[in-house]
Amino acid sequence: MGAMERFSVDGVAPEKRRGYWNDIVGKAFNNVAVDPRDRDFSATMVHQPLGRLDFAYVESGAATVSRLPAQGTEREEACFKIHAQHRGRSLNRQGKREALLNDGDWTLCDTRSPYSIGFTDTNQMLVMKLPQSLLTQRMADPERFVGLRMDGGRPESRMLLSLLRSLTLQSGLPPEADWGASVTDIVLDVVALAYRGEMAGVPMEGLGAGRGALTHWTRRVRAHIDAHIRDPDLSSAAIATALDITQRYVQMVFASLGTTATAYILTRRLELVAAALRASHGPDASSISTIAYDAGFNDLSHFSRSFRAQFGVSPREYRAGRR
């Protein structure tokens, strides 16, 4: 766990404050630029890393904050940010959506796309940065909620704001990784709880359904299976570990396809065997057992039963019928 850091433009000459502050903000949040309204604006920030989460408390004068497109081949982890208005007012824009935040309100933004935040007066904002993979373990398609204002008067919002304020401004947090992981789970559970009542009626308008998290992870899970189909230990648990998502979310991916991980992997292996049987003939052809083991099966009886159930004939009959 990283140490708390505090930054301020106090003591910096007015003509140098803009550049100084952009350097500070840019180190905390990649590709973010600040355009202050006044030359001698005031700004302070408390930055607190916590495991895979990042917290910040920012107080500043009037300014526009913009997330810029990634530069060249630069790659960074896909993340979301929560902007929670502690004091004052801000206008948050991303895609075709706008969220006007007052005290206690908050919104979600996607760091993979440009966004802007406009402050017309002195304000205080709490920011939490979290990896996409952590949030999608608790809610499918969080992109649906990007740019929507969440009412600060709701109990879940008050809980979240209290957590963010406490974790960001409290020094001397325990350094143990287990403690940070437990707190991370609590924070993410509160975020998911806040969105639970919103999930049914929020469209993907303006954000593109193809960018939905479920679609994204479905592609990744399928690609992982194709790359490791010959591994007899391939399972939903192995997929979850390899992709750093929960086994429950892997199950959700296959539920959206109307199947299970076990059934999907079995079907892909049987298709692989069938293709090999169609392509191999003659005295030099590989044996059926060799082909089955090569496709990831480790039980020939189970393989034979599954093949007959899938294709209506035995593997030997299938090969003979394709000559």
Mean pLDDT of 167-191: 84
Residue 14 pLDDT exceeds 80: yes
Give yes or no on whether 5-201 and 212-323 have one common fold: no
Q: Which residues pair with 192 in a beta bridge?
A: none
Rounded distance between C-alpha atoms, residue 91 and residue 231, angstroms: 51
| CATH among 1.10.10.10, 3.60.15.10, 1.10.10.60, 1.20.140.10 for 212-323 | 1.10.10.60
Place 71 in a pLDDT band, splitting at 50, 70 and 90.
low
- pLDDT of 194-219, one tens digit each? 887 655 444 444 434 333 566 778 88
The domain ranges of the chain are 5-201, 212-323
Q: Is 5 helix (H, G, I), strand (E, B) or coil?
A: strand
Rounded distance between C-alpha atoms, residue 233 and residue 188, angstroms: 31
pLDDT of the residue at 197: 60
- pLDDT of 118-137, one tens digit each? 998 999 999 999 988 888 87
Residue 191 pLDDT exceeds 80: yes
Closest CA to 19 of 33, 30, 5: 33
Place 322 in a pLDDT band, splitting at 50, 70 and 90.
low
Q: Is 282 helix (H, G, I), strand (E, B) or coil?
A: coil
**Are 179 and 130 in contact, with CB atoms under 8 Å apart?**
no
Q: What is the pTM of this model?
A: 0.62
How many angstroms separate the most distant Cα atoms in the chain?
A: 85
Closest CA to 41 of 15, 23, 65: 15
The fold adopted by the segment(s) 5-201 is Jelly Rolls (2.60.120)
